Amino acid sequence: MSQIKENLLRVTERIEKAARRVGRDPKEIKLVAVSKTVEAARVKEAIEAGVSILGENYVQEAQKKIEEIGRSVAWHFIGHLQSNKAKYAVRIFDMIHSIDSLTLAEELNRRAEQVGQVAKVMIEVNISGEATKFGTDEEKVFSIVRRILNLGHLSLEGLMTMPPYFDLPEMSRPYYTKLRELKERMVREGIPLKELSMGMSNDFEIAIEEGATYVRVGTAIFGERKQKT
Ligand SMILES: *Cc1c(COP(=O)(O)O)cnc(C)c1O
């Protein structure tokens, strides 16, 4: 069996175990295989092994790979998106996880309208770990979310976060708890969000315990990246 296939099996098992631990159906959790810096041949290997969603951080890199690999799988954008790349992003990605400003949302909406599409997006929330800072960022997210709901060519699917890196996965938990609580609060206030995109190679089990519906896993599937990004 190829290394990638073996890794994928192990990740899938870990996802299932984490889900069961907290009484969730493992099918609720979708795996985004993060393929930034990974060459097309190895991405194809992952697809043959069963991966169905790829996550990319750079528009140009993704564009090339998609040309070579095709659209039998879904391509998600998970990196920082510059407004001047919005017009490409709406065309090539099935989902954008990382909207971090209203300006970007409006530009994506405009570009989606031009090509007659509705772009699926999530908002990236910068969760502050400190209880004392509770509130401010959340309020800003609420106002962005409300504005986005009025943009006819964006479909707001959920929230995404990326905590600082910790060696101890358990340290990520408070960030994931907060994102889940934020989503729950929005749902209570009538904002229909479905998804929580959270959890990476070293902490996706914690994220699943806290409610993740998308986990974004690179290293645990493809091995260490040469360039650290
Ligand atoms: C690179 C990246 C990941 C995957 O990180 P791994 O630790 O390799 O699993 C997930 N999310 C984002 C936003 C990333 O940039």
Q: 78 CB less than 6 Å from ligand 1?
A: yes
Q: Is the CB of 161 under 6 A from ligand 1?
A: no
Cα 158 to ligand 1 centre (Å): 18
Q: Phi first, then psi: give them for residue 123, nearest 5 degrees.
A: -100, 130
Contacts of 228 (CB under 8 A, 6+ apart): none
Question: What pLDDT band is residue 134 in, cutting at 50, 70 and 90?
Answer: very low
Atom 12 in ligand 1: residue holding the nearest Cα:
78
What is the whole-number distance in angstroms between the Cα of residue 90 and the centre of ligand 1?
21
Report pLDDT for 129: 55
Domains, the chain, ordered by start: 3-222 (3.20.20.10)
Paired strand residues for 119: 154
The atom of ligand 1 lying closest to the CA of 201 is 9
Measured from the CA of 162, which atom of ligand 1 is nearest? 13
Q: Which pLDDT score is estimated for 37?
A: 96
Query: What is the predicted pLDDT for the residue at 227?
Result: 65
Instruction: Point out the ligand 1 atom lying closest to the alpha carbon of residue 225.
Output: 8
Could you tell which of 4, 32, 34 is best to mutate to test the pocket of ligand 1, judged by most ligand atoms within 8 Å of the CB?
A: 34
Angle subtended at Cα 147 by Cα 79 and Cα 144, rounded to the nearest 5 degrees: 50
Give per-residue pLDDT as tens, 37-56: 999 999 999 999 999 999 99
Taking alpha carbons only, the member of 221, 209, 223 closest to residue 18 is 209
Q: What is the pTM of this model?
A: 0.95
Average pLDDT over residues 51-77: 98
Instruction: Assess whether pLDDT exceeds 60 at residue 229.
Output: no
- Assess whether the C-beta atom of 7 lies below 6 angstroms from ligand 1: no
pLDDT at position 82, please?
95
**How far apart (Å, rounded) are the C-alpha atoms in residues 100 and 140?**
11
C-alpha to C-alpha distance for 51 and 38, rounded to whole angstroms: 14
- By most ligand atoms within 8 Å of CB, the mutation choice from 8, 31, 35, 78 for ligand 1 is 78
If one residue of 30, 200, 227 were mutated to test the ligand 1 pocket, choosing by the most ligand atoms within 8 A of its CB, it would be 200
Q: Is 165 in the pocket of ligand 1 (CB under 6 A)?
A: no
Summarised one tens digit per residue, pLDDT across range 137-163 is 777 899 999 999 999 999 999 999 999
Check residue 133 and give its pLDDT.
47
77 sits in which H/E element: strand 74-77
Å from CA of 207 to ligand 1 middle: 13
Distance CA 121, CA 228 (A): 26
Q: How does pLDDT run across 11-21, given as a tens digit for each residue?
A: 999 999 999 99
Q: Are 122 and 96 in contact (CB under 8 A)?
A: yes
pLDDT tens for 116-131 read 999 999 999 988 755 5
